Every structure is written in C-alpha cells, then in structure tokens.
Chains A and B, each alone.
Chain A
C-alpha cells in the first residue's frame, strides 16, 4: 500500500482517527509520518498509550464504539477501552481488530507475533505444523547465536513434536 500523502513510498503507519463522529484512516510512509510528528513505533518513548488513545478517540462522544460495537463476549465498548487502556477479554482482540492493528503498530512497530508459537492441548495437525516451523526458526537462531544449550533444548522439542505427528 502506498502512502496517502506522497503516494510514492510504502505506507508503514496506519492511523485511524475519529473526528466529529467521522472515522478516517490514514496510511503514511515513514517519512511523511515523521513530518507529521509521528515517528515509527520503536521510537515511541515520548508517546504514551493514553495520549494515543485520547487522540484516537477525539470527539467520539457516546457513539465512539459504533464502528465496532461492543464485544460479544464481555460487553466492552471501544470507549471503555479508551478510558482504561485495558481490553476486556481475548475476544476483544477480534471485535476491535481494525482499531487495534493501528494501535499495536504504533506501540510495537509491528502487528505480527514472531515469538513462540503456542501449541494448545489436543492440537490439530495445522497447529502442530505452525509450532514446528516456529521451533525450527528458533533453532536456526540459537545455532547462529552459538547458544548450543538452547539449541539442544529446541531440538528435543522438535523431535518430540515430529514423533507425535
């Protein structure tokens, strides 16, 4: 996706704003974002969560949650989240996915988890495969870092999982 402002570079910052009950999303490249005073996520030390939430919810009033509604599991509304900075339950991440993606990018510089892949109890084959590729990625990294103790541990985990598949 190209930057909305210059139309030249790849957009890396996706900012959702609600002004006068009108929601608009801007996609900006790093350069234009910086020009507008929004540095990329990793330098956000001076940009606390509450400020971002306040900015995100500017002028929303009572129907701020209208776009996404309330969470079907716990009943949390977007304006509740803006007030407390806390989500209500795991399902909120699905309900407010669109809003959260922009926020997570600002906070962490990314929305994609690249850490440990969770293997739930009684996993499906697909979950096992995802876990395996996650473990192999970690193994490569451990070997590259010459952390052989960790590598041995990961190799054991991979073997055990392969045996189970």
Chain B
C-alpha cells in the first residue's frame, strides 16, 4: 500500500478498456457495499476528528487485506481540488467527497484502490466505508465477488455496525440490510429513438429497479446513457439482488437490440445520416460543450456498435467520455479554463483523438479498409 498524494495519469480507468461482455452497449458494471463501524457517528454527524479515528481503524484493517495488497491510497483532503474533480469525473468518488458543494472533504477521507484498479473503497463518505468494484461491460457476478471478498477481509478485523433484524446499518435507511447497490451503466439510443424508452423505464420501476443519469443520484440523463440499479437493499440476499438485476438488464439489452433492428429496417438512411453527421461534427468542430460531445458520442457509439463506422474502437469513445470533461481538460492544460476556453480545448482534444484513429472508411468504396 503506497501513500500517494499525486494522481497517476490513467488512475482508476481500467474499466474503459471495453473488454467485458456487451461492452458496446454496457459501459460498466459497478457493485458497492455500504459498511459502518460500531462506536462512531455516521459521516454527516461526525464529531471533532472522528473521521480521522475511523480512517486509522480502517487503515490497520487494510494492511491485512489481501485484495488491496500493493494497491494505492489517496488522501482526499490533501489532494488538490482539481485532482478531486478528476476522480469525480472518473466515477471513483462522490460529489460530496470531491467537495463539489464548496467544502473540502474532512481529514480522514480517502480512496483505496487495488493494484489492478478493479476494487477499492471510499472511506468517510456518508457511510464510513463504501466498498466498490468497477468493471468494463456486463460482469455483475464478478464485480460482486471482488467486493464481497474485500468485505470478508475487512470485516474479519473491523467491528461493523450490524443489527440482527436490519442487517448492515447505514446512514440512509434506503441502503440498510445488504448495503448493496449494483449499477449497470448502459447506452440505449435505439430505445430513445423508437420512443420505447419511457415504457422500459417504467417497467424497470415496477420490478424494484431504478435508473439515474450520468453522475448518479439526481443527475440528468445525457447522451442516452442510463445507470440501472437495484432500488431495495433489505429483505433479499445479495445473490438474489444481483441475479434479478442481471436478468432485467439482459432483457433491456435485448429490447435495445430489437429497437436497433427496427430502426435499420424502417429508416436505414436516416440512421446512417445521423451517425455520420455525429462523427463529422466530432471530427471537425472547433468548439464543443460537454453535453454536445455526449450526444454526438451517442450517435457514433451506435454507429460503431452497428458496424456502420468501421475502424473506430469503443475504447476510444470511452476515453473521450472521460477526458473531454472539464476537470480533465484543465488538468491537461495545466490551468483553469473559462467555459469558452473549455469548449475550444474539448473540440481540439476530440479532433486529435479521432485523427489519431485514422480515416473511417465510408460504406461507398474504400472497401479494402472496411474489413480492417
């Protein structure tokens, strides 16, 4: 375990690799477990230096946890605000921990990550511990197993707050019981274009699941990206919660593929035009807002997934999603950027990345490159 005050360039971005099952439609799988320690108030009611005492207890347990051997620890209170925003944009820490509301996180707030950057935890968020596994594609069971193993290792040394009836106790009663929240980050442009999305989301709500936007709770949906997760955490076993989500997400993916087939059957030229326009704008525009990039990426992603834009990789699109965000652009520029500057830098970054990928062969002619 190294104590690191700087942020390695690609820290925590293993899930961008697009290697998992259905990774053109499912960006990532995340499973998190909320845990708290006996004898301490929860995060929001911490007393003087209580977060530091929690941290010390956790650190001792981490030193004996095989899952985190050789991993990294980031002291969030000591990190520059920009680095914290970068971690937030990588979905590794919460808004509260990034200090988005203007307050820096308390001393004792930390992020742990294993050497393979697949499993780790936030310390001193709303709950003392938020164990999390983040993987590329649809890999719920694997993510659960990683986080469960870490939980076993830490629980052997830490006195968790546990109640015989209510299970693992959490700051918010919506997380109590298993403390498990499994989320699938999924791209559903076909369902949006065919206007079936409303029905699907309504159905999701009726089977005990919920959906959120790009940055979790309360955030808006942009670029047709949705996070689907379990709503309830108590009264079902971890395995049941995981299996149920797996089953429903599998069905949503099938609906999405059906919708895409319908689009290609009924309006192939419209779809192809949309995809190529999106690519053209990303490839050549001089100023782009983040929302614009996300919406255009949605079109391009659809094109790549449907093999209409050969040569482009999903990995490249994933990378753009992360690195075209404002904190990442500021980090690359080495200075604060105004909104206008940010839009210029963003467009330049996207152009550079897409140019490096080379020209995308069109379906007319150039067929030699098509199979490549």
Question: Which residues from chain A sit less than 8 Å from chain B, CB to CB?
Answer: 41-46, 49, 73-74, 76, 84-90, 93-94, 100, 103-104, 107-116, 118-121, 130, 137-138, 141-142, 145, 147, 150, 153, 157
Contact = CB atoms under 8 A, between A and B. Distances in A.
A89 B45 contact: yes
Contacts of B126: 86
A31 B229 CA distance: 28
Nearest to B152: A157
Contacts, number: 134
A114 B235 contact: yes
5 contacts: A85-B173, A87-B169, A93-B176, A108-B235, A118-B155
A100 B234 CA distance: 13
A130 B162 CA distance: 13
B235 A90 contact: no
B237 A115 contact: yes
A73 B176 CA distance: 19
A22 to B, nearest CB: 24
Interface stretch (B33-41, B65-73, B97-105, B346-354): B33-41
Chain B interface SS verdict (over half):
loop
B277 interface: no
A74 B45 contact: yes
Contacts of A109: 232, 235
Contacts of B160: 118, 120
A108 B42 contact: no
A94 B240 CA distance: 27
A138 B208 CA distance: 22
Contacts of A107: 173-174, 232, 234
Nearest to A114: B237
A141 B237 contact: yes
